[in-house]
Amino acid sequence: MNIAQVITTINQTQADGVIERYAIGGAVGATFHLEPVSTLDVDIFVTFRHEPGSLLVSPQPIFDYLAARGCKMEGEYVMIAGWPVQFLPPTGPLVEEALADAITVPVGETPARVFTAEHLAGIALQVGRAKDKARLLQFIESGVLDADRFQAIIVRHHLVEAWQRFTRQFLTDTP
């Protein structure tokens, strides 16, 4: 089990032209900015290549590429270096922007593309499950968020109301 190996494999997938660009999100992405966040899988957001003559985008070339290199499929996951990895397309403008603005962080000798803290926090606010709210609180308490950048994301992606609800619920004494 080696998550650094997962990153190396994803970089190779990109270098071989199977994916255009990628960024690590979810708990693993959050770990680049916060204390380690325990998780059972790795979320990789990717822009899929269009197959010639097809308007549809498909993750199949990724699966074929990785299967040819000995990775096994388990449901919607690909097992890489002992980790279940899920390849996710951008689900909306916020994730598309997060993918475009992702930062490169060196993991030893290996570069890794990761969502910014502000985008991870914005996505957590938008998704809004209990664990996402907990993560958003972690981001706020840790002080890693650039307030101006985070606020711009909230406004741009129509999350002001969700943010106000969140602050009432978690950041004020009187809900």
**CB under 8 Å, gap of 24 or more: what pairs does 88-94 form?**
88/25, 88/43, 88/44, 88/45, 88/46, 89/45, 89/46, 89/47, 89/48, 89/57, 89/59, 90/45, 90/47, 92/126, 93/157, 94/119, 94/122, 94/123, 94/126, 94/153, 94/157
User: Which one of the spans 54-62, 102-110, 118-126, 161-169 is the region binding another protein (CB under 8 A)?
Assistant: 102-110
163 binds another protein (CB under 8 A): no
1 binds another protein (CB under 8 A): yes
| Nearer CB in complex with another protein: 82/92 | 82
151 binds another protein (CB under 8 A): no
Letters for 111-130 (x = contact with another protein by CB under 8 A, - = none) are -x------------------
Query: Taking CB under 8 A as the criterion, which residues in 21-60 touch another protein?
Result: 28, 31-40
CB of 34 to another protein, least distance (A): 5
Question: Which residues bind to another protein, rule: CB under 8 A?
Answer: 1-4, 28, 31-40, 83, 105-108, 112, 141-142, 144
